[in-house]
Structure 1
Amino acid sequence: MSILVDVKKYLALEEAPKQVQDYLSVAVTDHAYLPKTEDITSDWVAYIATPAFKLIRENLGHDVEAFASIGTGSGIDVLTGIELLGAKRVGFTDLQKSVVDAAAENIKKNLKNADSIELEFGAGDLLQPLENGKRRYDVIYENLPNVPLTDNTKIEDKRNSGHYLEKRVEVIPEFVHEQMLDLHYLALKQARDYLADKGAVYSTLGGRVPLSAFIKLGELAGLSSEIFTYSWKVQAEPEDVISGYAAQEKAGLGPFRFYRASDLQKAFANISVKESGKNAFEIEKSLESSKLTAKEAYEAFLKGEVIGHTVAVLKSSVK
């Protein structure tokens, strides 16, 4: 399927975009994550990554040279990195070749000057498809799935981009697995070999576990981590995702954290992007009495309530 994206609206720009077309024509394969462009508050790139990218650029005071996305899907995140971060060399990966090939075409055809951007891409596991390229990136972005596929489901069967194949050869620390952060841990471990000097990985993480777990995640991966921004969003695909977390809770993991959207809206009222990371733990504490387990959240969802979760952008760099 194809979608049309009004970039000025999608990225909340004051002026027309400089690097990408004013309207993106994006082909989304059957196995790629479907952007929520009609509901920006549910869209990871528009609602979570975009404010973070703008803050990265503001803090740096200059464009970044190289940007990479792990698990790009449609390629919209790469186009966003080019527009907002000014990246001139971009790397991107996804698990399946068809997804990566479609993303590459989406990126090329939606640039105003495709010849000015150097692309490095490949299909495969996390950052490994980029290992034979220039490798070093100033900003590495990842928004990887947390919920494993059920044993009788194959990644190719349908649009399973919100899930991952659980069986791994690498050793995953028990703490990481209990928090359902396996892929994020592996991405951070790999990232050490792909970061430029003073570069950082920005992980967009659904705050369904305590913020302290994210800091420990970075430490276990051998990196120094901090909460860069903190916000919330409505749970996309709630039937599938919340029930997936509830099943993992039943299996002994968690408990996980969800909230009614109305409670999240109150907690984050008047909190700016700049302030959010510094005040993250204080905001989390204010929500303590409102949290729902995945089981409770799923029951509330079935009754018609709107369920959301907090979102942290974790910044991790070499110590």
Structure 2
Amino acid sequence: MADVIYQKINTSEYLNIKSKPVHVKEQLEIKILDNSFLPGAKDDDWFAHSALPALKLIEKERPGEIKSFLSIGSGPGLDVLASAEVFGSKKLVLTDLHENIVESGVQNVKANLLEPEKVEVNGYTGDIFEPLRSRTNSNENQRFDIIYENLPNIPLAENEDINKLRSSSRCLEKRSEDIPKEIKDALLDLHYLAIKQVHEFLNKNGALISLISGVIPIDTIKSLEKYIDGVKIDIYYYNWNIQTSFYSVINDYAKQEEHGYGPFIFYRENDLKKAFEGVSDSESGKKARDIEKSLADKRITATEALKRFNQGENIGYTITILKTTIIDQ
């Protein structure tokens, strides 16, 4: 039997709201299995730190319109619960690679909703969209108003077992799909595959929200669009964060640089603070290129970042939230 951790989370603090939650409990109790991603403090939690503000912007633009929400690779389901509070969606779905994590995630969502009997909650096990795909007719696929993904991008080491790995940053490297070299070199494989397939699973006016570490240049991230027909990809939200020891990814990216991948970009904390000073959530996406340009001479490689990080220097990176919509809708 897998080891279990029960984590208590104050909803108002996690969601950064002043009012009492209306769709989920004030105090969440999240069951986390030993092969599931373990949420850290808020600044270590990429969803809370960067994806959540983007989802709040969507709700502000389309109040009450997001009736269905899907999280690809949800883990314990905390992102689904947060989205349930933000959108008030009545259809919540999550997926993951591991059946035990899916079952636990669904239990977490149902147990922490205020009125679970009024919400359809389902979970599916499998790779990206495969468990949601109709075997007979793509028109019968489940469709959603918002789909969220923060898929892993660092190839799994040969001595690592994905069934026992708690980190959410690793993925299986060998895939059968044809992936452009530019995308593969930037470790954007799974994001590319999700965006390429998402038209089969979005409702009209729906959107895919992708969280991508900004250690990859914006031009490279935007290059996804030129390889996929019929989609519009916008930099919807742009943020930064400091690398902590809780889940250090610098070492992973430094190893990938040694194997010829990249470039991967990091910055000193003070340089990031200055570049983002005075930028609001709503304008961050539109100003992303200007911010990146202002940091051009402040870039450091993952290899150099790791050296400085190990010496005690505060090292950070940007985070990019993409919004993908279907052009012909």
Whether these two folds match at TM > 0.5 is: yes
Q: What whole-Å deviation, never above 9, does each CA across 1:285-315 have from its counterpart, x for those lacking one?
A: 1111111101011011110112211011100
Q: 8 Å contact 1:121–1:130 — kept in the other structure? A: no
Question: What residue number does 2:18 align with?
Answer: 14
1:137 correspondence with 2:144: yes
1:58 aligned to which of 53, 57, 60: 60
- RMSD of aligned C-alpha atoms? 1.5
* 2:208 is aligned with 1:201: yes
- Find 2:48's aligned residue among 43, 46, 49: 46
2:184 alignment partner in structure 1: 177
User: Which of the numbers 24, 30, 33 marks the counterpart of 1:29?
Assistant: 33
Match for residue 118 of structure 2? Answer: 116
Q: Distance in 2 between matches of 1:146 and 1:307?
A: 20
Give the Cα separation in 2 of the matches to 1:314 and 1:134. Answer: 23
- Which residue in 1 is equivalent to 2:294? 286
Kindly provide the CA deviation profile for residues 141-180 of structure 1, in whole angstroms up to 9, marking residues without a partner as x.
0011111111222212332422011111111111100111
- Cα 1:239–1:318 shift into 2, 3 Å: closer
Shift of 1:218: 3.2
Q: What's the offset of the Cα at 1:134?
A: 5.5
- Alpha-carbon separation, structure 2, partners of 1:212 and 1:55: 23
1:87 is paired with a residue of what secondary structure?
Answer: coil
Specify the alignment match of 1:166 in structure 2: 173
Q: Does 1:81 pair with 2:83?
A: yes
Give yes or no for contact 1:71–1:95 (8 Å, CA) kept in 2. Answer: yes
Distance 2:253 2:264 in 1: 7
Does structure 2 retain, via aligned residues, the 8 Å contact 1:91–1:130?
no
For 2:263, the equivalent position in structure 1 comes to 255
Structure 1 residue runs of 5 or longer lacking an equivalent are none
Shift in CA distance, 41/139, structure 1 to aligned 2, threshold 3 Å: same
- What percentage of residue pairs aligned between the two structures are identical? 39
User: Could you tell me which of 299, 308, 312 is aligned with 2:316?
Assistant: 308
Q: Can you list the C-alpha shifts for 1:57-112, whole angstroms capped at 9, x where unaligned?
A: 01113331111100001100001111102211112100111111110110000000
- Corresponding residue number in structure 1 for 2:100: 98
Q: TM-score, normalised by structure 2?
A: 0.93
| Distance in 2, Cα, partners of 1:302 & 1:32 | 27
| Number of the residue aligned with 1:216 | 223
Does the CA contact (< 8 Å) of 1:120 and 1:130 recur in 2?
no
Give the deviation of 1:120 after TM superposition. 2.6
In the aligned structure 2, how far is the partner of 1:89 from the partner of 1:129? Answer: 17
Asked whether the equivalents of residues 144 and 183 of structure 1 are also in contact (C-alpha less than 8 Å), the reply is yes
Q: Deviations over 1:263-297 (max 9, x none)?
A: 21221111100110111100111111111101011
Measured in 2, the distance between the counterparts of 1:48 and 1:137 equals 21
SS in 1 for 2:200: coil
SS state of the match for residue 33, structure 1? coil
SS for the counterpart of 2:270 is: helix
Q: What is the TM-score normalised by the length of structure 1? A: 0.96
22-31 or 253-262: which moved more? 253-262
- Letter matched to residue 146 of structure 1: N
Taking a change above 3 Å as real, the CA distance of residues 227 and 264 of structure 1, as seen in their structure-2 partners, is: same
- Where 1:73 maps in the other structure, the secondary structure is coil
Unaligned runs of 5+ in 2: 135-139
Whether 2:252 is the aligned partner of 1:244: answer yes
Higher mean alpha-carbon deviation, 213-222 vs 254-263, is at 213-222
Secondary structure (helix, strand or coil) at the match of 1:166 reads coil
Go from structure 1 to structure 2 and tell me whether the alpha carbon gap of 1:87 and 1:239 turns closer, same or farther (over 3 Å shift). Answer: closer
